[in-house]
Amino acid sequence: MRRGGFEDAFAAESALRRFLEGRRLGFDADPHETVAAYLTKWLKGMEFLLKPTTYARYRAYVLGELIPVFGKLRLEELAHDHIAAYTHEQLEAGRGRQAVYHCLATLSSALGSAVRTHRLPFNAAQPLPMRRPRADERVPWSAEQAVTFLAHCRDVDPAFADLFEVIVGTGLRKGEALGLQRQCVRIEDRVMFIRHTLSAVDNHELVLTAPKTKKSRNWVPLSERVAAALQRAMDRSTATANGHVFQDAHGKPLHPAAVRRRFHELRKQAGLPHVTIHDLRHLAATIALEGNVSMAVISKTLRHSTLSTTANIYSHLTWEVAMAAVNTIEARLHLVEARAQYGTDAPADSRPLPNPLFSHAA
């Protein structure tokens, strides 16, 4: 192998050492390898390590964004300044912060692999030149609006009414509900098991993949209302062991895009404000919180990976619960103080004693 174009003998010898070191460790350290060549090779290596939907997203970022921008640079030439300039350019042009962040995260993942295999000495994308955008605070429907929506669906499209009844009643993700198979539902035991999620690769090919996290692969209890909706759905569907509970008129699983379109059609017909199907999952959590269900139980029901995930997502909904907690503490302290002053005959609703910290005499 011959390579030229180095500034001096020292640069040539350094490149030769890197190349030979790479050969010993099992990777290509060609000093003239471009970012495009490296990213193409990295993407191919990730094909069987990622979920099909995740791989499709990575492929879109690599082929549609990263290679056109950075592809001609030599891999060792790619610097943090290049990445920062691209970030500012995209944001100033009005590009969505979420899209830019995910593109940068993909590049960082690819360069991180190069560092771990000793192909590069450092990751030029770290630290990222922008913070991770905060998710918009979700404002789900109220329970009354959910009832209005479900009633309208039952009148207009009973099959979709049962699908949305299951999502609202259990907090399933859309893909989990669409990927639910008959063998995973036990109506008599009032339980179902989440084993798959249905996704569309490139919005076209339907694939069954593993649930989002390890804890997502779990059992979910069924209320009488949800069990009835599942039974109706299974009565309509093709009765095969691995058949999907929710199917279209041809016995095939429902396409996520078709479900999304139908949801918004029904929502508009019912005169309800805009929410997403995923917001029905948040609606389930909101109703449970309003019913004083503990955060730990809600986290278990929604199958979040950690309790902190649940707390972070629904922190804005826990104000009343938190206030109830501190008010309970205050009431208990007042009662003990009243009994200390008036004896055990002090009524439970005794007025609190003046607090010297806030009295004028103090």
Write out pLDDT tens, residues 165-206.
999 998 899 999 999 999 999 999 999 999 999 988 877 788
Q: How far apart are CA 351 and CA 353, in angstroms?
A: 7
Mention the CATH class of domain 143-311. mainly alpha
Taken in order 204, 208, 210, 215, is the CA torsion positive or negative? positive
Report percent pLDDT > 90 for the chain: 46
CA dist 92 → 89, 100, 134, 136 (Å): 5, 11, 19, 20
Query: Rounded to the nearest 10 degrees, what angle do helices 224-236 and 158-170 cross at?
Result: 140
Taken in order 303, 307, 313, 315, is the CA torsion positive or negative? positive
Report percent pLDDT > 70 for the chain: 86
pLDDT band for position 136 (50/70/90)? Answer: low
Query: Cis ω on the peptide bond leading into residue 127 (within 30° of 0)?
Result: yes
More confident residue, 29 or 60: 60
Least confident of 27-36, 100-109, 223-232, 321-330: 321-330
Average pLDDT over residues 310-322: 63
pLDDT band for position 356 (50/70/90)? Answer: very low
In CATH, what is the architecture of 33-116?
Orthogonal Bundle (1.10)
Which H or E run includes 150?
helix 143-156
pLDDT in tens, 139-155: 788 889 999 999 999 99
Pull the structure tokens for residue 180.
Answer: 């639910």
Give residue 347's pLDDT: 59
pLDDT in tens, 79-93: 999 999 999 999 999
Q: How far apart are CA 244 and CA 254, in angstroms?
A: 9
Helices (H) and strands (E) in the chain, counts: 15, 5
Q: How far apart are CA 299 and CA 134, in angstroms?
A: 21
Residue of 99, 134, 136 whose CA lies nearest to 279: 136
Q: Which of 114-118, 254-258, 341-345 has the highest mean pLDDT?
A: 254-258
Average pLDDT over residues 41-68: 91
Could you give the angle at the alpha carbon of 175 between the alpha carbons of 172 and 178, nearest 5°?
90
Across 155-167, b (16+ Cβ under 10 Å) vs e yields eebebbbbbbbbb
Burial of 45 (0-12, 13-18, 19+ CB in 10 A): exposed
More confident residue, 240 or 219: 219
- C-alpha of 169 from chain center: 19
Give residue 361's pLDDT: 40
More confident residue, 109 or 347: 109
One-letter amino acid at 242 equals: N
pTM strictly above 0.85? no
Kindly write down the DSSP assignment for every residue of 227-245, as one continuous string.
HHHHHHHHHHS---TT-BS
